[in-house]
Amino acid sequence: MFVTSIISAIADCHSDPGKLSPEQAHRAMQIHLECSVDLCRVRRRARQVLVEAKLMVLDQRAG
């Protein structure tokens, strides 16, 4: 049940998935690979989690 709720939480680009673990954020980034962080709330949240966990470093141009 837990896995199903996580997958459904990261499936919809228009819904903020809320708190994600770094592992969940990594999976969300894979699922939403073609999405823009400007349009996809899941990818935006996942990127934030990975940056805060120091698992991702943004290019200075990414802003």
- Over residues 4-61, the pLDDT tens digits come to 555 677 889 999 999 999 999 999 999 999 999 999 999 999 999 999 999 999 988 8
pLDDT band at 1 (very low <50, low <70, confident <90, very high): very low
Domain that holds residue 32: 2-62
Total structural domains within the chain: 1
**pTM of the complete model:** 0.82
Per-residue pLDDT at 63 exceeds 70: no
Q: How far apart are the first and last CA of the chain?
A: 37
Q: 42 by DSSP, 3-state: which?
A: helix
